[in-house]
Chains A and B, each alone.
Chain A
Amino acid sequence: MSSSKQPASTSFKAPDSSRLQLDEQGRLRHFLTVESLSKDILTEIMDVAESFSSVGHQAVKKVPVLRGKTIVNLFFENSTRTRTTFDLAAKRLSADVINLNIATSATSKGESILDTIRNLEAMHADMFVVRHSDSGAAHFIANNVEPHVSVINAGDGSHAHPTQAMLDMFTIRQVKKDFSNLNVAIIGDILHSRVARSQIQALNTLGVKDIRVIAPRTLLPSDVGSLGAHAYGDLRQGLDNVDVIIMLRLQRERMGSALLPSEHEYFECFGLTEEKLAYAKPDVTVMHPGPINRGVEMDAAVADGAHSVILQQVTNGIAVRMAVMTLTLGHSKVAG
């Protein structure tokens, strides 16, 4: 048909993330995704995190920044590590913290997410830290909370894990100082990884020019290019001249759903060993969001070796989460 070119879309656009995440002054109100946030905001998060880094080394590991605020850790999906660091971050800011593990409480009795939120708001919560197995859950909650309540995304489905991405950026900045000349490779299950999506967005915003993802085709999103990353199926090519390697955790269920044949073959093709590390630059930095499957994603020698900054990431996780909580609750001046 020659006459038809472009029937105009008749739809309204859904509010994009930046409108939802930022207040009228352009300051962070919720932290749901790295996407659409400016380089200035990402830099501010890292700067504030830097200022909090020393708190963990003090005799009294507390600052009074969020005294009197109530923070609810709302975990619809089980997590020990992430919840613990959010818990610790809130306590070091002197906030009152409630940990709710919804996976084993209210919604399993049939209460809707909205009812859960309404109830917690009635208890005057100031912030929800949300983890959920559905992509978009944090956006959904942020769209439905009262104006004074902030939402931090602690991981939603395969969509985003922005605090993890920012602690990784903070760690890269500590080690490499500057983002603009880095080559960064992310290895593993990109398709199902909220961490990878947020990292790729953050790396792009911070000016990294060469972002690579290395994985078998079954574990890559269909349109990797649109995310701003280059796909490699070969580890040696993908690691060539790389400054930073980010490993992702491999979930065991990927074998059951015919995405991979075996852990053994995965390790052979994509697992990181000391020999394979030699494909990258000599001063390459190795990262992993944890928890590590030793012998599946990487050798113990690499995880514990000189290139690894995995434990530094964990320490930084608390400072970055303190920064994000402080910024979203509007106390950046006190912190700075």
Chain B
Amino acid sequence: MNILIKNGRVVDPANGYDGVQDVFIANGKIESLGTEPAGFTAELTIDASDQWVMPGFVDLSASLREPGYEHKATIASESKAAVSAGYTAVCCLPDTTPVLDTPSVAQLILDKAEEAGYAKVLPFGALTVGLEGHTLSEMFALKKAGCVAVSQAPKNNINSQVLRRALQYAKTHDLLVVLKPEDVLIKDRGCVHEGAISSRLGLAGIPVSAETVAIAQLIQLAEETGARVHLTGISSAKAVSMLARAQFANIAMTADVHAHQLHLTELDVGTFDANYHVSPPLRSASDRDALLAGVVEGILSVSSGHQPHEAEAKQAPFPSTEPGISSLETVLPLMLKLVDEKLLSLSQLVSSLAHGPSEILGLETGCLSVGAPADICIVKAKETWQIDEKNWLSRGMNTPYLGHQMKGRVTYTLVNGRLVFGK
């Protein structure tokens, strides 16, 4: 279908472009920008006056819960939520049941995503069989089946010997390895940042060293093996500076931060509010500010860390609740809030949500270049909306932002030139 997006402000940092321009789409790709191609007839024209036209966002970390946890969410429900929030591609973690450690599970996920017809779902295959941390998974087979990376996330239960060999083996097949930097022994039974809140509420703390010790190890192993390593969900100021130094030394290491980590701190846990029980934990205000600085400086991409849950998962005493926020639908308004507050530029926003993640994954999306797949979202920045059950598509209502007014909403989303969301 030929689609014309008219009069929108096109924000495309990958090409250094920011200005009002028409976008012409044909055969699922961006056919032209500004000038109408010869013989082009639009079958659908979208008037994007006063709106922003951006490359669709690519999420580096989401649990879609299918197969195995359909009482929490499904690929259909979450990929629909994703496109409503501007995402055109979502990477899913291998923590399903059965674990995503065989081509057949990868195929099942890809089939479900295609059947649903919303966002592209990009599976991360398990790094080890059953995510148990002992035996390497058949990474070559997983890659052939469509996995864009291999990952041990959301766990990090793997010893240094297996980890080193897994990185060597992944390097052989040129596979990106996505890891959650967390020393599980230091973390132990921790459920909040070790600091004021853990001291006051008597909750087991997770010290910053649980993250930095794991990162220090990974930097050495990434350098030695030459494997490409992506750290998903970092939470501390120290991690940002370690990563900056590693990148400066040309070690192939990238990282992302969950969008809510740029806003919330340990104090938001308040008096045992389980909606703020997340992994990694919310840390101090200075950690939060350093994470934002990392995004501004291009050291970090931004991911959702989407963890949808059924209501019962949060209805227990704090340490017994399941960690995680259903976050796909709040990422854009949270990032736009930073733009509103002039803490982040619009092009930095697009880089961190679209171009950066695409580059990490080696995709041709994340930009609005002529010839690129037409994965696009259109945003009405000034529209305000309230987070409530009517306005929410994820099956998980576990968000601390329930009842909040948010500013900035997606009006249209296109995946491969096909309108998958439009109001």
Which A residues have a C-beta under 8 Å from some C-beta of B? Answer: 1, 3-17, 20, 35, 112-114, 132, 134-137, 139-140, 144, 156-160, 192, 194, 197, 221-224, 226-227
Is B320 a contact of A134 with CB atoms below 8 Å?
yes
Is B343 a contact of A3 with CB atoms below 8 Å?
yes
Give chain A residues whose Cβ lies under 8 Å from the Cβ of B202.
135, 156-160, 192, 194, 197
- Tell me the smallest distance from the CB of A29 to a CB of chain B, in Å: 15
Is B199 a contact of A12 with CB atoms below 8 Å?
no
Q: Closest 6 interchain pairs by CB?
A: A14-B270, A158-B202, A136-B272, A14-B273, A134-B317, A221-B199
Give chain B residues whose Cβ lies under 8 Å from the Cβ of A14.
268-273, 276
Interface contacts beyond A156-B202, A157-B317: sample of 5 additional A-B pairs, CB < 8 Å, sorted by A = A113-B316, A132-B317, A135-B202, A159-B201, A160-B202
Chain B 246-279, CB-CB to A under 8 Å as 1, else 0, gives 0000000000000000111101111111001000
Q: Is the CB of B28 closer than 8 A to any CB of chain A?
A: no
Give chain A residues whose Cβ lies under 8 Å from the Cβ of B200.
35, 197, 223, 226-227
Is A7 a contact of B319 with CB atoms below 8 Å?
no
Partner of A134, one of B270, B318, B404: B318
Give chain B residues whose Cβ lies under 8 Å from the Cβ of A10.
263-264, 334, 337, 401, 404
Bound-state Cα–Cα, A157 to B22, Å: 61
Q: Is the CB of B117 closer than 8 A to any CB of chain A?
A: no
Give chain B residues whose Cβ lies under 8 Å from the Cβ of A221.
198-199, 205
A5 to B, closest residue via Cβ: B289
Task: Pick from B74-82, B94-102, B290-298 the stretch touching chain A.
Answer: B290-298
Bound-state Cα–Cα, A183 to B318, Å: 34
Is A139 a contact of B272 with CB atoms below 8 Å?
yes
Give chain A residues whose Cβ lies under 8 Å from the Cβ of B420.
none
Is B292 a contact of A112 with CB atoms below 8 Å?
no
Bound-state Cα–Cα, A101 to B43, Å: 70
Is B263 a contact of A9 with CB atoms below 8 Å?
yes
- Tell me the smallest distance from the CB of B86 to a CB of chain A, in Å: 18
A-B contact count (CB 8 A): 134
Give chain A residues whose Cβ lies under 8 Å from the Cβ of B195.
222-223
Is A7 a contact of B316 with CB atoms below 8 Å?
no
Is B296 a contact of A9 with CB atoms below 8 Å?
no
- Tell me the smallest distance from the CB of B286 to a CB of chain A, in Å: 10
Is B343 a contact of A16 with CB atoms below 8 Å?
no
Bound-state Cα–Cα, A77 to B97, Å: 32
Bound-state Cα–Cα, A16 to B269, Å: 10
Range, interface on chain B: 35 or more
- Tell me the smallest distance from the CB of B234 to a CB of chain A, in Å: 16
- Tell me the smallest distance from the CB of B119 to a CB of chain A, in Å: 25
- Tell me the smallest distance from the CB of A6 to a CB of chain B, in Å: 7
Bound-state Cα–Cα, A290 to B12, Å: 67
Is B272 a contact of A222 with CB atoms below 8 Å?
no
Q: Is the CB of B37 closer than 8 A to any CB of chain A?
A: no
- Tell me the smallest distance from the CB of A154 to a CB of chain B, in Å: 14
Interface centre among A6, A11, A112, A114 (most CB of B within 10 A): A11
Is B317 a contact of A222 with CB atoms below 8 Å?
no
Is B338 a contact of A222 with CB atoms below 8 Å?
no
Q: Is the CB of B312 closer than 8 A to any CB of chain A?
A: yes
Partner of B268, one of A3, A11, A136, A227: A11
- Tell me the smallest distance from the CB of B377 to a CB of chain A, in Å: 22
- Tell me the smallest distance from the CB of B302 to a CB of chain A, in Å: 13
* Given A1-B296, A6-B285, A135-B203: A140 in contact with B276 (beta carbons within 8 A): no
Give chain B residues whose Cβ lies under 8 Å from the Cβ of A12.
400, 403-404
Bound-state Cα–Cα, A178 to B270, Å: 33
Is B318 a contact of A140 with CB atoms below 8 Å?
yes
Q: Is the CB of B115 closer than 8 A to any CB of chain A?
A: no
Bound-state Cα–Cα, A132 to B316, Å: 11
* Given A1-B293, A10-B337, A139-B272: A112 in contact with B316 (beta carbons within 8 A): yes
Is B296 a contact of A4 with CB atoms below 8 Å?
yes
A15 to B, closest residue via Cβ: B271
B191 to A, closest residue via Cβ: A135
Q: Is the CB of B390 closer than 8 A to any CB of chain A?
A: no
- Tell me the smallest distance from the CB of B277 to a CB of chain A, in Å: 10
Partner of A156, one of B204, B297, B317, B337: B317
B404 to A, closest residue via Cβ: A10
Is B264 a contact of A17 with CB atoms below 8 Å?
no
Q: Is the CB of B226 closer than 8 A to any CB of chain A?
A: no
Give chain A residues whose Cβ lies under 8 Å from the Cβ of B293.
1, 4
Is A222 a contact of B312 with CB atoms below 8 Å?
no
Q: Is the CB of B135 closer than 8 A to any CB of chain A?
A: no
Give chain B residues whose Cβ lies under 8 Å from the Cβ of A6.
285, 289
Is B317 a contact of A3 with CB atoms below 8 Å?
no
Give chain A residues whose Cβ lies under 8 Å from the Cβ of B312.
112
Give chain B residues whose Cβ lies under 8 Å from the Cβ of A9.
263-265, 267-268
Bound-state Cα–Cα, A194 to B401, Å: 31
Bound-state Cα–Cα, A232 to B315, Å: 39
- Tell me the smallest distance from the CB of A78 to a CB of chain B, in Å: 17
Bound-state Cα–Cα, A12 to B268, Å: 8
Partner of B318, one of A3, A136, A194: A136
A201 to B, closest residue via Cβ: B200
Is B271 a contact of A139 with CB atoms below 8 Å?
yes
Q: Is the CB of B363 closer than 8 A to any CB of chain A?
A: no
- Tell me the smallest distance from the CB of A232 to a CB of chain B, in Å: 17
Chain B 336-350, CB-CB to A under 8 Å as 1, else 0, gives 011001110000000
Q: Is the CB of B146 closer than 8 A to any CB of chain A?
A: no
Interface centre among A3, A136, A226 (most CB of B within 10 A): A136
Give chain A residues whose Cβ lies under 8 Å from the Cβ of B263.
7-11
Bound-state Cα–Cα, A112 to B196, Å: 30
Bound-state Cα–Cα, A13 to B205, Å: 20
Is B199 a contact of A135 with CB atoms below 8 Å?
no
Interface centre among B205, B292, B317, B338 (most CB of A within 10 A): B317
A156 to B, closest residue via Cβ: B317
Is A222 a contact of B205 with CB atoms below 8 Å?
yes
* Given A136-B201, A160-B202: A222 in contact with B194 (beta carbons within 8 A): yes
Partner of B341, one of A7, A114, A223: A7
Is A140 a contact of B317 with CB atoms below 8 Å?
yes
Is A17 a contact of B271 with CB atoms below 8 Å?
yes
- Tell me the smallest distance from the CB of A183 to a CB of chain B, in Å: 22
B402 to A, closest residue via Cβ: A12
Bound-state Cα–Cα, A156 to B207, Å: 22
Bound-state Cα–Cα, A192 to B203, Å: 9
Bound-state Cα–Cα, A326 to B361, Å: 64
- Tell me the smallest distance from the CB of A35 to a CB of chain B, in Å: 8
Q: Which of B196-236 contact A (CB under 8 A)?
A: 196, 198-205, 207
Give chain B residues whose Cβ lies under 8 Å from the Cβ of A4.
289, 292-293, 296, 343
Bound-state Cα–Cα, A5 to B341, Å: 10
Bound-state Cα–Cα, A160 to B400, Å: 25
